[in-house]
A and B are shown apart, each in its own frame.
Chain A
Amino acid sequence: DSGVTQTPKHLITATGQRVTLRCSPRSGDLSVYWYQQSLDQGLQFLIQYYNGEERAKGNILERFSAQQFPDLHSELNLSSLELGDSALYFCASSVEFRYTFGSGTRLTVV
């Protein structure tokens, strides 16, 4: 157990639907990052939050959004899903140079 918890582990949904992925960071870590891993794009940074505020945005589509709550857990919302959104979505938390990854949520859009 890395200390970063992601739920659900697997998700299968239809095109056009909306899903929410959840991440609980390692205790004491204020930063949360979301990454997307797909076969064609590799591991891509999506968005970062620090203590509830958005810190940086990467290659995140407008159909995607995220937030970090006062208890520091984060949610990634994916809407109007397309087949190409099928991927493994990782959450990571960090303090200074220590980054810890969750085991990921595998999203399959059918």
Chain B
Amino acid sequence: AQSVTQLDSHVSVSEGTPVLLRCNYSSSYSPSLFWYVQHPNKGLQLLLKYTSAATLVKGINGFEAEFKKSETSFHLTKPSAHMSDAAEYFCVVRGFYGGSQGNLIFGKGTKLSVKP
């Protein structure tokens, strides 16, 4: 079965410092991977997606993620955090087969706090 594991439930950074949110995936096939962000009391917004093109994917708001097959990782990074980045971030894999085909399978989320 396909799955994603977000390695940190909570990450705290200072404004202006780099952000690293870690995600490992499990898939027997070449996966399609996404990062979504959810601000408090808001819906889910797509940050970026990987669908087997370039391994370094650039998203909105300065975020990017690198697909590393050898490490089965898809970590999300940003060079400099802003206060507005404080939110919950979800790593997501698209189901490939069986009852999961086409569905999005979510990780448990990483809550990002940004200190002034």
Contact = CB atoms under 8 A, between A and B. Distances in A.
Q: How large is the interface on B (under 10, 10 to 19, 20 to 34, 35 or more residues)?
A: 20 to 34
Interface residues of A, number: 23
Interface in A49-103: 55-58, 90, 92, 94, 97, 99-103
Interface in B30-53: 32, 34, 36, 42-46, 49, 51
Contacts of A90: 43-44
B102 A55 contact: yes
B106 A56 contact: no
A68 B2 CA distance: 27
Contacts of B42: 103
Contacts of A102: 43
Interface in B51-70: 51
Interface of B: 32, 34, 36, 42-46, 49, 51, 90, 94, 99-109
Interface of A: 2, 31, 33, 35, 42-45, 48, 55-58, 90, 92, 94, 97, 99-104
